[in-house]
Amino acid sequence: MDQNINQLKSNFMKQIFRISIIFFLSSFSLMAQEKDAVVEAIIKEANENSQLKKLGHELMDVVGPRLVGTPQMKQANDWAVAKYKSWDISARNEQWGEWRGWERGITHIDMVYPRVQTLRGTQLAWNPGTSDKGVTAELVVLPMVKNQEEFKKWLPTVKGKLVMTSMKQPTGRPNYNWEEFATEESFEKMKKDREAQTKAWRENLRNIGYGRNLTAELEKAGAVGIVSSRWSNGFGVNKIFSARTKKIPTVDLELEDYGMLYRMVEYGDKPKIHIVAKAKELGNVPTFNTIAEIKGTEKPEEYVILSAHFDSWDGGTGATDNGTGTLVMMEALRILKKIYPNPKRTILVGHWGSEEQGLNGSRAFVEDHPEIVDNMQALFNQDNGTGRVVRISGQGFLHAYDYLGRWLNAVPRDITKHIETTFPGTPGGGGSDYAAFVAAGAPGFSLSSLSWSYWNYTWHTNRDTYDKIVFDDVQNNVILTAILAYMASEDPERTSRERIVMPVNQRTGKQRTWPKPRSPQRKGGLD
């Protein structure tokens, strides 16, 4: 009798176990189907209802460049807030500091002697500007000197002159053009000549001895303007950064015109140019991060952050640095709001200000919001260009593969097949805003892009414009980012913050250390 009862009990328990297994598998399958459905809906929305081109037009063409402290930067902040609110997404501008307020005006540069020609160039950021009448003067170039004393003797001759402070390039053709058309002998000769000229120029600057203060010394000596040309090793492309003068204009000329004028000076033609560079000083102005978020429903105090700096230099319109990163995060959040409106964790987008001057906006956010950083599930940052994402590093987090690997598995193979991953990797020290979070020990990851000649043709140049955007690649990045955000939000586990043991520096023989958090510059450009 007892044996029969035990057998019945055994059969009953087996049946219960089978039912439990079936229920578990069914639940798992249903959950997987639901997740798959969300992923498929994200892909469908991104491909069939993309807002990227319209957003790109509004930001790059209409708002334009977004130099910190300019009205265009504030206009961009307000535009983004309004755009998010039109998608029923909560958004705000969060002040983190002040900056020197400055507004670019019209730049017009003309050669007026020995003949008349309109020249291609622009004033540098925070240029003191000129009157409506402008400045007309003869050009001179820096002398070749043996020491600073010799330069000091020459220095009074700049009074009333415009001083050319950049090296004359020996060729306006980039290396790839030489490689395609020149003989091997000719290419090698050009490289040797350029190397020798560059070496001589750098040695001469050391002999002059003023370093970054050279323009200040020229201004003090009575120069009426500075003319530079920072060629970016491509056809028609120059780097455009900031002026270092206090009262006199600083303009950058494209290589072709700069070289022509330089040769005229060398040959004794005494060229003169006329510069009108209008600009407005606006005093101290507030500067902001733009924050948008979809509140979590189960764990609202935990955060998935989508990250991209909003500011740019203003030689072009900041299209690939970092308009494209901005578009990716905006479009990803728009899609998530539509497809996944009730995330488990809060999904936050940070559009950081003044990245170009030292990650100031993101460092301010890290400093001001430790409660968010401490409860961050993951951050995904994009910055460097318009290309599809091709590299993701674990940033030194020992178990990054465990969760990033899971999340990437949900992304379509036609996107992930282009991505090289490095786990656990090493922490980034300051290349872009993810580094501000990594330094604080939070899992921030860089979605690094294919080059598309970024460093030469668009990074901080006069050619960083809408027409350089590769929208197919950007759209792929939207899909990747939105799926990663969704998977990070849904993950039942908190991400591990355990760090690697840092490797030994082969140069010094000492163990490397984890980057330390740095405070932002909260009052910039005011000295």
SS3 of the chain: helix, strand, coil, percent, to 5 = 45, 25, 35
SS (H, E, C) 7-68: HHHHHHHHHHHHHHHHHHHHHHHHHHHHHHHHHHHHHHHHHHCCCHHHHHHHHHHHHCCCCC
pLDDT reported for residue 88: 98
Burial class (CB in 10 A: 0-12, 13-18, 19+), 450: middle
The three state secondary structure string of 469-520 is CCHHHHHHHHHHHHHHHHHHHHCCCCCCCCECCCCECCCCCCECCCCCCCCC
Distance (Å, rounded) from C-alpha 275 to C-alpha 289? 35
Geometric angle at alpha carbon 517, from 515 and 523, rounded to 5°: 135
Listed as own residue / partner, the contacts of 88-92 with beta carbons closer than 8 Å and 24 or more positions apart are 88/337, 89/292, 89/293, 89/294, 89/333, 89/334, 89/337, 90/292, 90/293, 90/294, 90/295, 91/290, 91/291, 91/292, 91/293, 92/290, 92/291, 92/292
- The rounded distance, in Å, linking the Cα atoms of 137 and 362 is 44
Residue written as token pair 């964790």: 345
pLDDT in tens, the chain (527 residues): 444 444 444 444 444 434 343 343 344 334 444 558 999 999 999 999 999 999 999 999 999 999 999 999 999 999 999 999 999 999 999 999 999 999 999 999 999 999 999 999 999 999 999 999 999 999 999 999 999 999 999 999 999 999 999 999 999 999 999 999 999 999 999 999 999 999 999 999 999 999 999 999 999 999 999 999 999 999 999 999 999 999 999 999 999 999 999 999 999 999 999 999 999 999 999 999 999 999 999 999 999 999 999 999 999 999 999 999 999 999 999 999 999 999 999 999 999 999 999 999 999 999 999 999 999 999 999 998 999 999 999 999 999 999 999 999 999 999 999 999 999 999 998 899 999 999 999 999 999 999 999 999 999 999 999 999 999 999 999 999 999 999 999 999 999 999 999 999 999 999 999 999 999 999 998 76
Phi, psi at 281, each rounded to 5°: -90, 130
Taking the C-alpha atoms of residue 99 and residue 285, their distance in angstroms, rounded to an integer, is: 6
Helix axes 71-86, 324-339, angle to 10 degrees: 20
Identify the pLDDT of residue 526. Answer: 79
Tokens for 496?
Answer: 């591990």
CA distance 76 to 317: 12
Q: Cα(65)–Cα(246) distance, rounded to whole angstroms?
A: 23
Short-list 228, 225, 219, CA closest to 121: 228
- Select from 207, 227, 209, 206 the least CA-distant residue to 217: 209
Is residue 307 within 8 A of residue 350, CB to CB? The reply is: yes
- CA 433, 310, 365, 297 dihedral sign is negative
Domains in the chain, start-ordered, CATH in brackets? 41-101+284-521 (3.40.630.10), 115-270 (3.50.30.30)
What predicted TM-score, i.e. pTM, was given to this entire model? 0.92
Judged by DSSP in three states, 190 sits in helix
Strands 523-524 and 135-141: unpaired
Contact 240, 124 (CB under 8 A): yes
Helix (H, G, I), strand (E, B) or coil at 436: helix
